[in-house]
């Protein structure tokens, strides 16, 4: 051990401070969701559950929630199919330009969201595609592929090849081998990659604002618009808290499924 007791104590204190910095805004947000007052002033004046009821009764929120669920589900399914195909190609074959594949998939989240958003919007407009739920799904699927792909590639790399070879030796064709051997082997990776893609899509706001057009709102887009209207703030607090829970819970499950190998992902 190299660190002196003083250094260790200082590091412990710094760790506590940084953790407090990370969690303080989320705690304050949770407190506000139960705040009696309509005003956003701190400290809260009293405890109430009324805003949850008001949020549940708000038709705009329900429509936005439905849009978010549909978009996230569809984008996740597309991302899983594309991610699985690409992962199989990269892990099971050797070909020219193999390293470029993962680079291409990372691009949609590596470049600024505003660039991805405006690029997609400009080509939707150029080709006369009306903005709405389908364009949101296309946009989300594009940047969700990378999380599905990463999870499945990581699993395929660890999966032993011998069962697949045995299956082929015993006369199974490649489709049957895929269905009976490979697919069960990557099942949990599909599930955790899917959950991460779902969370990524459910939270996304920048690209969505460009791809959605004026009429269609997802939950983050609803929050974005509503937070500029002071009398909606108490309901925004509630929806914001629920949004955090809805996206953190799938990630927590995904993390348990993958044995903690997921470190990071989208924004």
Partner 1 sequence: MSIPEGPRANLPQRRSLSRRVTSWFNAHPRATLRTLLAGPLGWIGLVYLGSLLVLLLHAFWAKDSFTGKVEPFNWTLDAFIQIASNPVYSTIALRTIGIALLVTITDVLLALPIAYYMARIASPRKRGLLLVAVTMPLWASYLVKVYAWRTILQGNGFLGWALAPFGIEGPGLSEITNAWIVLSYLWLPYMILPIYAGLERIPNSLLEASADLGGRAGMTFRRVIFPQLIPALAAGSIFTFSLSLGDYIVPDLVADAKFIGNVIYDNSALGNFPVAAAFSILPVVVMIGYLLVTRRLGAFDSL
Tell which positions 182-201 bind partner 1, by CB under 8 A: 199
Sign of the Cα pseudo-torsion (202, 82, 100, 121, in order):
negative
48 to 77, contacts with partner 1 by CB under 8 A? none
218 to 257, contacts with partner 1 by CB under 8 A? 220, 223-224, 227, 236, 240-241, 243-244, 247-248, 251-252, 255
Report the residue number, 58 or 137, with the smaller CB distance to partner 1: 137
Using the rule CB under 8 A, give the single segment among 51-59, 60-68, 111-119, 184-192 that binds partner 1. Answer: 111-119
What does R_g of the chain's alpha carbons equal in angstroms? Answer: 23
Using the rule CB under 8 A, give the single segment among 50-58, 62-70, 79-87, 185-193 that binds partner 1. Answer: 79-87
Report the residue number, 39 or 49, with the smaller CB distance to partner 1: 39
Using the rule CB under 8 A, give the single segment among 53-61, 62-70, 112-120, 182-190 that binds partner 1. Answer: 112-120
Using the rule CB under 8 A, give the single segment among 46-54, 61-69, 135-143, 183-191 that binds partner 1. Answer: 135-143
Report in angstroms how near the CB of residue 123 gets to partner 1 at its nearest: 4
Contact, 146 vs 108, CB < 8 A?
A: yes
C-alpha of 246 from chain center: 10
The number of residues in the chain equals 267
Q: Which listed residue (66, 85, 130, 161) binds partner 1 by CB under 8 A?
A: 85
Q: Which listed residue (69, 70, 159, 206) binds partner 1 by CB under 8 A?
A: 206
| d(C-alpha 138, C-alpha 102), whole Å | 19
Report in angstroms how near the CB of residue 18 gets to partner 1 at its nearest: 5
6 to 35, contacts with partner 1 by CB under 8 A? 7-8, 10-12, 14-15, 18-19, 21-26, 28-29, 32
Query: Residue 110 CB: number of other CB atoms within 10 A?
Result: 11
| 112 sits in which H/E element | none
Give the 3-state secondary structure of 76-111.
HHHHHHHHHHHHHHHHHCCCCCHHHHHHHHHHHHHC
Contact, 73 vs 194, CB < 8 A?
A: no
Structure tokens that stand for 6 in this block? 């003083």
Residue owning tokens 């080509």: 123
Q: Say whether residue 3 binds partner 1 (CB under 8 A).
A: yes
Using the rule CB under 8 A, give the single segment among 38-46, 54-62, 64-72, 152-160 that binds partner 1. Answer: 38-46
| d(C-alpha 155, C-alpha 51), whole Å | 43
């Amino acid at each position: 051990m190299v660190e002196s007791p003083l250094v260790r104590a200082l590091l412990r204190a710094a760790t506590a401070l940084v953790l407090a910095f990370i969690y303080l805004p989320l705690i304050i947000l949770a407190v506000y969701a139960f705040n009696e007052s309509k005003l956003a002033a701190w400290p809260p004046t009293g405890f109430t559950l009324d805003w949850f009821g008001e949020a549940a009764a708000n038709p705009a929120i329900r429509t936005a929630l439905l849009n978010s669920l549909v978009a996230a589900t569809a984008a996740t399914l597309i991302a899983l199919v594309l991610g699985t195909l690409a992962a199989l190609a990269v892990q099971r074959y050797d070909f020219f330009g193999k390293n470029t594949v993962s680079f291409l998939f990372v691009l949609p989240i590596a470049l600024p969201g505003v660039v991805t958003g405006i690029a997609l919007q400009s080509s939707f407009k150029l080709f006369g595609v009306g903005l709405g739920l389908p364009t949101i799904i296309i946009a989300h699927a594009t940047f969700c592929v990378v999380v599905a792909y990463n999870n499945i590639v990581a699993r395929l790399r660890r999966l032993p090849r011998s069962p697949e070879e045995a299956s082929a030796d015993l006369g199974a064709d490649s489709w049957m081998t895929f269905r009976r051997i490979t697919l069960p082997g990557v099942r949990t990776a599909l599930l955790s990659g899917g959950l991460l893609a779902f969370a990524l899509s459910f939270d996304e706001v920048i690209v969505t604002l460009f791809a959605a057009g004026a009429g269609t709102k997802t939950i983050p887009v609803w929050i974005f618009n509503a937070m500029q209207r002071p009398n909606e703030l108490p309901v925004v607090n509630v929806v914001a808290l629920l949004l955090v829970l809805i996206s953190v819970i799938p990630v927590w499950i995904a993390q348990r499924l993958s044995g903690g190998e997921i470190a990071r992902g989208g924004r």
